[in-house]
Structure formats: structure tokens, C-alpha cells
Amino acid sequence: MINHYLDISHEVMDALNEGRAVVALESTIISHGMPYPQNAETALRVEQKIRAGGAIPATIAIIGGRLKAGLSPKEIDYLGEKGVQVTKVSRRDLPVLLAGNRDGATTVASTMIIARLAGIPVFATGGIGGVHRGAAQTMDISADLQELARTNVAVVCAGAKSILDLKLTLEYLETHGVPVLGYQMDEFPAFYSRSSGLPVDCRMDDASEIAKVMKAKWGLGLEGGLVVANPIPEAYAMSEDSINIAISRAIAEAEAKGIKGKSLTPFLLAKIEALTEGKSLQANIQLALNNAALAAALAVAYAGL
């Protein structure tokens, strides 16, 4: 379905028309994930990883009030250089930015929406949002989870960000009928570390198995996405103890400063990076590359069905 607000790059459109594999990528990681020029350089590395896997990358963003599926290197650099000046965009923000001809960096939720409009069924990201710690009082639950419940896109990720309440995040996904598939793992990964002690719904050892699940789910008319949980490579994983100490300190500082809403996750990630002396940032880059490689394999397998 092509929407009149949407611009699809020629390369991505050609691939879609020919039935070839395409992988969607978010842009919040560019504008809000790390400093310039490392953010733009990492985005291009992720795109190259997808190309090496036989698929076409479609980095997604909003530029000048237009939904973009497939950015040029110049547009990626533009988002990277502007950084946090670019609005972080979830579902609720899309109409405002389109009406105002503004720029936006897409989260998991808004990337899923635009990928679905473009006809791209596979999306690679770092980690999904989820239920925040203390949500029983704050009701702070990421829009990513509701999008997974309603939008037909498979999301390859290193689990949910470990700043979240992972148990409640999985409970929410279960309630809304979102399958959580573990790639070569029985446990749900915790972003910076490979395990959380929490089980996935089903283990899948090959991308072709996951592609068949996607086809069966949507073939039945069961609306909504899938979470493909892909653990960070062991060589780059951080110990649970060290990362949990950093997370606890970052959360305490955020509470003391009254930081919440869409500003909370960028603050926590930046604070954790400082507390871990940059190790968390390197882990973030490596898991993004790892997810891109699996997403490319999955997109190729799904296109072949």
C-alpha cells in the first residue's frame, strides 16, 4: 500500500517490485543514539551489513514532513549532524510532523508503521521499548509494544533495553498475542547481556524457520508483529552485575532530576555509557550489526517463500 505522504527510494522500490529482500532500519539510533559523526558512520555500517547479507537496507525517517523509506548517505549524515535537534517520533507524533513539514527520527513504533506502509515486513533495531520500571505507578509503557500488537512487521532485536522491566514487558507482549522467538536461544536476551533468566515463547535455530512462522501468522489473518530476539555476540556482551549497577545509578539520577517520558531512554543510555566508560556504546554498535545480519537472512528467507 503506497501512501501519498510516503517517499520510497528508487533502490528500495525496485527491490520491492521485484520481490527481493528489504530490511527496514530506524533513525532514532542516528539522531539520539550516539554522537556525530559516529552515529552516521554506524548507520552506514549497519546498511552495509544488510547488503552483505543479500538484502537492501531501507533506513526510515521523516524529512521535511515526508515519510522516507530508504535514505541517501547525505540524508543519514544530515540526521546525524543535527542530532537531538531532530524530533524523536512515535505514533502520536507522526501527524504533527507531517502537517508542519518537520524532520523526525523514527522509534521502533513509527518505523514499523512506515515499513508497513512501504510493504517491508522485516525490521532490524537495537532493542525494543517496553514496560518501564515502576510502571505500576507511572503507567510508563512504550508505544513500541502496542505497535507490535497491531502492525505486521517482524522486529529483529537484542531483546528489550535492560533499563526496562523485562518480566512485565514479556507479560504485556503475551497479553497482546505477540510471539517472542529466540534465535538460537531459550532465554530472552537483555540487550547488553545475553540472558535475562526469562524464557522466550519458542526457540528458532534458523532464519527459514522464523520466515515460515511469519507467513503462517499473517496467512491466518492474525494481525500484529513478531519479536525475533537475537542475543548480543558473546565477545561483546557485558556482565549482568556491571550493567545492572550502572542502570540502577542512572535510574536513580533520572528520578532525582525528574526526567521522564520520551527524554528518559536517551538520558539513561547516555548516563550508562558514561558509567561504563563507553563499553555500553560499543556493545550497542555490535548488537545493531548482529541484528542487521540476522534481519537480512530473515528477509531473504521470507522473500523466497
Taking every pair of Cα atoms in the chain, the longest distance, rounded to a whole number of angstroms, is 53
> What is the reported pLDDT for 2?
55
Report pLDDT digits (tens) over 1-47: 458 999 999 999 999 999 999 999 999 999 988 889 999 999 999 99
Q: Is residue 242 part of a domain?
A: yes
Angle at 76 between CA 114 and CA 262, to 5 degrees: 60
Number of domains in the chain: 1
Per the structure, the complete domain to which residue 261 belongs is given by 6-303
> What is the reported pLDDT for 81?
97
Residue at grid coordinates 525528574: 258
Q: Is residue 1 part of a domain?
A: no
Range name among 22-26, 42-46, 111-115, 163-167 with the lowest pLDDT average: 163-167
**CATH code of the domain in which 183 resides:** 3.40.1790.10
Q: Is residue 206 part of a domain?
A: yes
Q: Is residue 216 part of a domain?
A: yes
Query: In this model, does residue 275 exceed pLDDT 90?
Result: no
CA distance 34 to 39: 5
The three-state DSSP-derived secondary structure of 60-116 is EEEECCEEEECCCHHHHHHHHHHHHHCEEECHHHHHHHHHCCCCEEECHHHHHHHHH
Q: Is residue 193 part of a domain?
A: yes
Report pLDDT digits (tens) over 129-152: 999 888 778 788 999 999 999 999
Q: Is residue 81 part of a domain?
A: yes
Catalytic residue among 26, 47, 147, 273: 26
Global pTM value: 0.93
Catalytic residue among 49, 68, 88, 161: 161
Q: Is residue 64 part of a domain?
A: yes
Residue 26 appears among annotated catalytic residues: yes
